[in-house]
Amino acid sequence: MALPFEAAKGVSEKALGVKFPVLMRVVLPGLLATAVLYPTVAWSLRRLPAGSEVAWLRLAGFAVLVFILGALISTLSGEVYKVYEGRTLWPQRLFQWARGRQQARIQRLLRKADEARARSETARYNEIWYQLRLYPVDEKGDPEATYPTLLGNLLAGYEDYPRNRYGMDSIFFWPRIWLQLEKEKKDEIDSQWSVADGFLTLSVISVVGGALWIVQAGWSALDLATFHIPLDSPGWSAFAGLGWFVLGYFWYRLSLPFHRDNGEIYKSIFDVYRDKVLDMTQLRPQEKELWTATWAYLQYLVLKCPNCGNYNSPASEKCATCGIGLKELIRTWRSTGKLPL
């Protein structure tokens, strides 16, 4: 999959002059959203001056609209993932039912794996376990479904990897490891990850577009709509809306292999780069007190009394609260640079 990715990246950046992550996360979603909203878009563009001499104005207006829609949609990427994973907007009963279906799929795959192993069908056995490894594992190492969607389980599987292997909480340690990576490496990884992000965004745009087209067709059929509907026919608009739903599912399924590849990179980063945050496991003596004292001095120009804990001016000879002499402590601090604790 590396060669097609590199080829697409090269076309985007050299031929189109657009960085690949921007193409996947902004431009393509903006184009698809414009297609979903094309009656409104066409109406807006008709308001611009006509004529070949100002044709560029319509083109510029279209380009600006694509970028604005794409940029707005990209800001919702995190919420899109939450919905597709099954973390938000899922009623409890629907969540449990869908998760049960995912667990039933695991059991079917396990039975098929046992049958393939009994028949010495190595290729089939390996293919079945390729699918089973999409899921997270329980304490015994057996695959289990923890979310109602395949994407949710896939992401949970690689997000649980650092905890299962190293006891590291991925949510906490991931941004700290990411900050330690070289810029070139981060750009390369982000470019590859943008493919899965882009396809999932195209999926949600298609699903929302399908719902909009069907609702508009229904309003028009009931004579409730006073605006122009897609295709000028309620029947065809509703049929096209179903097509948008199918397209949304297509984009979703297409994103899954790329999400899996992203997960392997995610796990590899913890395998290879976790030593970048190893210093976090070695706290200095009295580190909490040291940082507190440093903050007090830099923020408020006061020193903490080591006896009672109250704060005093560096010019004080005695603590204003407990009366202990500070002259020697301050002299030591000025000569060594070590704050009194």
User: CA dist 200 to 8, 80, 136, 241, 314, Å?
Assistant: 18, 8, 21, 18, 58
Its domain, for residue 323, covers 287-336
Contact by Cβ (8 Å): 257, 151: no
Backbone angles phi, psi at 318, to 5 degrees: -135, 150
331 domain-assigned: yes
Domain contains 301: yes
Determine the pLDDT at residue 122.
94
The per-residue pLDDT for 220 is: 77
**Residue 296: inside a domain, yes or no?**
yes
Mean pLDDT to the nearest integer, 271-282: 92
pLDDT digits (tens, 9 = 90+) for 92-151: 999 999 999 999 999 999 999 999 999 999 999 999 999 999 999 988 889 999 999 999
Q: What is the pTM of this model?
A: 0.82
92 Cβ neighbours under 8 A, 6+ residues apart: none
Residue 312 covered by a domain: yes
Decide if 20 is inside a domain. Answer: no
Give the 3-state secondary structure of residue 173: helix
Arithmetic mean of pLDDT, 163-191: 93
As for how many domains the chain has, the answer is: 1
Overall size of the chain counted in residues: 341
**Residue 322 domain-assigned (yes or no):** yes
Is residue 273 a contact partner of residue 181, using CB atoms and an 8 Å limit?
Answer: yes
Tell me if 3 is assigned to some domain: no
Which two tokens mark 64?
């600006």
Residue 69 domain-assigned (yes or no) = no
User: What single DSSP character describes residue 222?
Assistant: T
